[in-house]
Each structure stands twice: as structure tokens, then as C-alpha cells.
Chain A
């Protein structure tokens, strides 16, 4: 399916759940609400016309310093999906506020979401509801803060955790 058809199908399914769509440089993108994301991901995976069987990536973007988006929701959780059968791609995005930064987990749909969500939690501090094991992935448990947030200064050093004296 081409990008427009995919987005139309998503709109058809979710109605008001799809907030906006664009295909900048040919990447079909749908911004959806948090309430509808799990349903849409399930739909993407199981629908016979879409068949997005491969969850390529989950990541996030911190909009704190993005010109024009400073006042909007702070985080965007970004899902990239690919279909090995139909050979097409789509990008889904969910926007969440800083003091309400949680989205439902996709690990019930794809086991790989487990690690990808752990990385997003580690780097951005976005929680995933219902995640079976939401630990940090790349950093250590005692690390304070979430380094890919825009308000985390790149020069900040934290002592590595050594043996207890």
C-alpha cells in the first residue's frame, strides 16, 4: 500500500484517535492519541491489509527546545513499523506531557518492545504502563536523571558506582 492509503486506513480505524498526519519526504507519519495507540498498534499488526509484522524501533523526542513546540506536549514517543509481507513502512507518534509521561506498553504485541521501551525509559524517563520489567537498559540503576532530555547538560558527570566502602 502507498503511504496515503495506510494513513487513510488508520484514520478509518481510529477516527478522532488520529490527531494529524503528514508524509514529509515520503515518510508516512500519524500522530495519535495515547488512548488509541495500543489499539492502533494491534490493528497495524493484525490487519490483513497492513500486516506490519516487524516493530523496527521505538524511540522518543524531547520537544523542550524545539522552536514552536516548547509549549506543547513535551515528549513524542515514536514507533517505526515495517511489513515484511507488504514491504511498506509507517511511523506512529504519541505526544505526552512531562508530568504525565506514560504510554501503554507494546511488549504484549512484540517481545522486542520490552528492550526498546526500557531504553526510552532510561534515556527520556517516559514510563510504559504494564511493562513487565521497566529497568534501565544502557545506564546503571543508580544513575540520576534521563540523559537524552534536553535539560540534561552534556557536561554533567556522575560518579560511577563502585564497591561500597
Chain B
């Protein structure tokens, strides 16, 4: 047998080459993939003829896990859905359960949710734009944007005590009130973020290389975008001004002014512009909310000196209970923002839902009983049997929670409508007929988040 030439080895016996399509796997682990996903592409030369997307590599049974614990136990799982903007997931889930219960959150809590959601949204957009720019060679943009995100994550850390797995939302409120001096810190961080956005605009908006890779690439028409169920920045880039915050306002969004930026062509460049504009709008919302948040600055009511918990308990044991419930206690720093004053300001006054303030739990039998009634197996939060769907505007689009209750203390069914599933499903539609290299900016603009896509 004659030895095969290299050409024959690659193209097959007697291969003349050129006519056959090549099948290529992009992923599951690819440096430009933002999570684990496989795009199976059929190529004609460098053009993608057909593509199939395979997901599920990060599936970890979020919906099943939610069914086995009490309502508030699902909060940490929701952190891990969209791990770039976990606060929005927390609040979205909590809102769905509140709707089931039929309770209204307090005004201050609504504002806190708005502020923290918008800060998360900026983080999410910064990550998305930064990472996609990096994949197109603009590494500086990535560094600048991650620097800006760092300032915002410090704010998140200040409020929640964690950077990523924040678990800050609660059914009926939030874990703790905003910390002291939060307002000036936010404004300072926004100065930095605005500076970065300005620099990024100068660096890439209008940059020849960036424009060549983005304009007209990965475009979906307005009609297609809707048919594929896509919401969020991708839908707005296609010219539909649908934003849940505006269309069906929740929390305090009807009390702040903001614009809904829309694009025209629905291509990657418009998506980039929409995200850049939304960050500015988000900052506007946060600033207005900080100006008008009811309750204002935190002023601890200290009639009588705060006493430490041990002597508080002693007084209770000695039977000196007169007026004891009104005596302020110094709390451990871990519980900062969860004291009576803060709780009364922020959280729903509903014993069926909210844990009592820590002073009451540790200082009175009623508080302790209330606490146990909420954390004991079989008790806890028990919404009436029924179902509720609550959409909120996540960073990637409409994030919906559909919660079904059977009247017990565990959710019967929790469904998360992931905002990035429809665009990922539409990826074949966006990339077919385009070049292999165009997959990268298109995939970047979709902003796939593995945690929420695969749940």
C-alpha cells in the first residue's frame, strides 16, 4: 500500500477536498466561553452552516432543591443562579413568595431593593461588556471595568457582608438595614464608575477594530427577537422598549425617573450601546433612591444606654422585666443592622413571616417563641395554597419566579424563568451564515450565565 500523503490523511482517501463540511466543537471548555456550554458547528470553510447548542453542564437541581426546604432556605440557592447579580435573584424570589402571602413590603425595604438591584445590574453589565471587549483584544477595557466593578462590590460587601454569595434577601424584607455612611460611599464609587465608562467609550466606541467585529454581527430582527422569547438588553437593542421596571413597575420603580435605552439594529454593537446606556440609567436610579429613601439616615434610638446581651438576659432572669423590651442592646457586629430599630424600619411587621429582632429573640420569651415558630420544621412561613408568578428585570432580561404553594411550610414547586435561556437557544439563529470568529462577540453579547441557564 502506498504511503498516504498528509493531504490524504486529513481529507480521506483520494480526497480532493473542498466540498465536505467540517464539524467543530466549540467548548464545553473554551477560553472565550463564559460558562460551560458546547456549540457544535458545521462549517463550510470558515462559514457556519449549521449549529447546535448543548447546555446543562452546570445543572445542579435548583428547582428540586427548593422543594425540600422551607421558603427562606431557597434564598442561598438563588444567589447561585446569576452569580454576577445575585441580589436581583434574591429579591425576585422573595417577591414571588410575598405575592403568594399577599403581603406588602415596607417603603424603605422597597427602596433598598431598588438600590441594591441597580448596583448589581451595573456589576453585571460591566462584567459582560468588559469580558466581550477582552475577547476582541481590548484587554484594557476589561481591566478598567473590573476595577469599576470592584468599587461596586465593596458596596455590596458593606451591605451584605459578602461579595458573591450574599443571601441578603428575605421573604418580607432584607437581612439587615443599610450600613452607616452608605450614601457617600455610593456616590464616591459612582464617580469612579462614570470615569471608567467615559474612558471605555473613548477606547472602543468608534474604535475601528471593535466596530468591525460588532456592527451587523449576530443581528436578530425585532420580530425574531420576540419570537425567540428574548427580553432585556437584547430585546431593547432590537428596538422594543420592553423593560419590566417600566412596563409593570414593582418595588419603588414607579417613583424614580429613568429612561429605557433602545437600539435599532439588534446587532452586537447596539447591545453594547444599550448596556452602556443602562449603566448610566441605573446610577441615576440609585442616586434618586438614595435622595428619597424614607427613614433617612440611621439614627439609633438610645434612650438609656445600650446594655450588653448578657446583662440583658440577667435582668430578665431576675424578673426585672418592666420596660425591658424597649432597652437597646449592643449586638454582636455580625448582627449589625438586624437590631430592633433597623428591623422596625425595614422589614414587614408580620409575625408569620419575619424573624423577630435579635433583642426580642434573646431577651423575651415571646420573641424566642416567635423565632422558633418560624424556624421549626413544619412551621415557618406558610402561604395559602395557590400560585404566583413575579417577573423582575434581571440584568439579562425578565427574571421570573413561579412559585406554587400547597399550604405547607415548603414550596411545592419553584420555577425560575432564566432570562439568558432564550438568547442561548437563539444562538444558532444568530451565528448561522456568519464566520467562526463572529461566534465570540455574539456569544459575549448574549451574556450567558451558566448558573442561571442550567440551574
**What residues of chain A have their CB less than 8 Å away from a CB belonging to chain B?**
24-25, 27, 29, 53-57, 59, 61-62, 65-67, 78, 80, 82, 84, 87, 89, 91, 110-112, 114-116, 123, 136-140, 147-148, 152, 154
Q: Which of these, B59, B240, B391, B407, contacts A56 with CB under 8 Å? A: B391
- In the complex, the answer to whether B100 meets A25 with C-beta atoms within 8 Å is yes
Q: Which of these, A29, A139, A147, contacts B56 with CB under 8 Å? A: A139
Which of A24, A54, A61, A114 counts the most B-chain CB atoms under 10 A from its CB? A54
In the assembled complex, the Cα of A67 lies from the Cα of B410 at a distance in Å of: 13
Q: Which single residue of chain A is at the shortest CB-CB distance from B63?
A: A148
Interface size on B, residues (CB 8 A): 45
Q: Which of these, B67, B388, B400, B429, contacts A25 with CB under 8 Å? A: B388
Q: Which of these, A24, A152, A154, contacts B388 with CB under 8 Å? A: A24
Secondary structure at the B interface, as helix, strand, loop or mixed, is: mixed
Beyond A24-B388, A112-B422, is A67–B228 a contact (Cβ under 8 Å)?
no
CB distance from A112 to the nearest CB of B (A): 4
B365 contacts chain A at the CB level, 8 A cutoff: no
Residues on B with C-beta less than 8 A from A55 are 229
Q: Which single residue of chain A is at the shortest CB-CB distance from B98?
A: A25
A to B CB contacts below 8 Å, 23 in the list: A24-B386, A25-B388, A54-B242, A55-B229, A56-B417, A61-B412, A66-B412, A87-B247, A110-B229, A111-B425, A112-B228, A112-B422, A114-B425, A123-B63, A138-B56, A138-B59, A138-B454, A138-B455, A140-B56, A148-B63, A148-B64, A154-B67, A154-B68
Q: Which of these, B226, B247, B386, B421, contacts A115 with CB under 8 Å? A: B421
> Between A and B, how many residue pairs show CB distances below 8 Å?
100
- In the complex, the answer to whether A84 meets B240 with C-beta atoms within 8 Å is yes
Instruction: List 16 other contacts, CB 8 Å, given A27-B389, A55-B229.
Output: A25-B102, A53-B227, A54-B231, A57-B415, A82-B391, A84-B242, A87-B247, A89-B389, A112-B230, A112-B422, A112-B426, A115-B422, A137-B56, A138-B55, A138-B454, A148-B63
B398 contacts chain A at the CB level, 8 A cutoff: yes
Residues on A with C-beta less than 8 A from B230 are 112
- In the complex, the answer to whether B398 meets A56 with C-beta atoms within 8 Å is yes
B65 contacts chain A at the CB level, 8 A cutoff: yes
CB distance from A115 to the nearest CB of B (A): 4
- In the complex, the answer to whether B386 meets A25 with C-beta atoms within 8 Å is yes
CB distance from B402 to the nearest CB of A (A): 6
Within 8 A of A (CB), among B226-254: 226-231, 240, 242, 247-248
Residues on A with C-beta less than 8 A from B284 are none
B279 contacts chain A at the CB level, 8 A cutoff: no
CB distance from B341 to the nearest CB of A (A): 32
Residues on B with C-beta less than 8 A from A112 are 227-230, 422, 425-426
In the assembled complex, the Cα of A66 lies from the Cα of B429 at a distance in Å of: 40
